[in-house]
Structure formats: C-alpha cells, structure tokens
Structure 1
C-alpha cells in the first residue's frame, strides 16, 4: 500500500510526521475483516509509512485495543534500538 498519514501541525513531530504509535482504524479499512494501520516509528525525514495489520481469525478474545497495544508494544522489542522500529 502507499498510504501516508498527514497530521495537523500541532500534533506532528518535528519532521512533520504523525507521532509514533498513531493508530487509524475508523476511516480506512475492509468491511469484512478487522484491520488497522499503525505508525509505530518516528520518521527521520518525513518518510514514515504506517503498517497495515489485518486480523484474519481471533481465537484469543482480546479486545480491539488490546490487539493494537500488543502490535505497538512488539515494535519496541528490538533491544539495541532506543526507539520503536
């Protein structure tokens, strides 16, 4: 996909990107499958591109917010990085 998010200047980071951890799940999406976009990393030069997550089957009964928080938390698991990747 070639989706980019545009933030209001008051909400953007110093390079003009959306803040790391931004989730969009209401505006874009699929009617049959639950999906959301997560911009987990901060862009260096205005180049941040969000990742699309699609839930194919849920056997865990987690809430939507739980799934989004898990996905965002996993982006901070790289031990040598000081920021999310």
Structure 2
C-alpha cells in the first residue's frame, strides 16, 4: 500500500513528518494522515514525493517493486527485445 511506502521512504531518508509536510506545503497532521492511509494523497503531492525521493509514482503506489523505471527490469526488457 502506498502509505507504507511513503513512510518507509521518509524513514530511509532520515526525515520527519514535519520535514515532508514542509516540502509538500501542507500541515504535519495532513501528511500524517497520508502515511496512515486515512486521507488520499493528491496527485500533485505524489509527483512531488516521487521527485523528492527519485522514485516512480508507480513505486509509491505499490504497482511495482522497482523504485524507478530505469531499474533492472527495464534493462531486462530491452535485452530481451534485442534478442528477437
């Protein structure tokens, strides 16, 4: 679930909820609700978070286990297509 990913990313980068709230331009309590999954994250905030952490929005949303679209899975696809 995406709220777990944003919490994990924040912790991995040694940031507080207040730090991320400032980056997003919202109150800490609002951001806390995003992490807890009790409030939906606006698309523009998802984009800001993906840019800040240098990960794909798909990763934040839990649609892929790969942090960026340029990870190994893309290299594997390109390599497989070259063989054809």
Larger Rg: 2
TM-score (norm 2): 0.24
Q: Which has the higher contact order (CA 8 A, sep 6+)?
A: 2
TM-score (norm 1): 0.24
Whose helix proportion is higher, 1 or 2?
A: 2
